[in-house]
Amino acid sequence: MARSRYRRPSALVVLGAMALDELVGDPANRWHPVRWLGVGIAALEDRIYADSRTRGAVFWGLLLVPSVVLPPLLRPGGRIFEVLGVWSTLGGRSLVREAEVIAALLDKGDIPGARARLGHLVGRDTDDLGAAEIARAAIESLAENTTDAVLGPLWWYVAGGLSGALAFRSSNTLDAMVGHLNRRYYNFGYFSAKVDDLAVTPAAVVGVIASWVLAPAEGRRRIGELITLAPQHPSLNAGLIEAAFAGALGVDLGGVNRYRGRAVTTPRLLGGSSPDVRALHQASRFSRRVARVGALAAMLAIVVGR
- Cross-strand partners of 259: 262
**pTM of the entire structure?**
0.89
Stated as kind and residue range, the H or E segment containing 13 is: helix 11-23
3-state secondary structure of 168: helix
The per-residue pLDDT for 27 is 59
Closest CA to 284 of 72, 51, 116, 106: 106
Phi, psi of 251 (to 5 degrees): -130, 150
Measured CA to CA, the distance from residue 227 to residue 237 in angstroms comes to: 11
Mention every residue, 6+ apart, whose C-beta is less than 8 A from residue 3: none
Measured CA to CA, the distance from residue 262 to residue 185 in angstroms comes to: 15
Q: Are 301 and 154 in contact (CB under 8 A)?
A: no
pLDDT values of the chain reduced to their tens digit, one per residue, 306 residues: 344 444 789 999 999 999 999 998 765 555 556 666 667 777 777 888 888 899 888 888 888 888 888 877 777 677 898 999 999 899 999 999 999 999 999 999 999 999 999 998 898 889 999 999 999 999 999 999 999 999 999 999 999 999 999 999 988 888 877 777 677 888 888 888 888 889 999 999 999 999 999 999 999 999 999 999 999 998 899 999 999 999 999 999 999 998 887 888 999 999 999 999 999 999 999 999 999 999 999 999 999 987
Can you point out the beta strands (E) in the chain?
252-259, 262-270
Measured CA to CA, the distance from residue 94 to residue 277 in angstroms comes to: 19
Measured CA to CA, the distance from residue 30 to residue 37 in angstroms comes to: 11
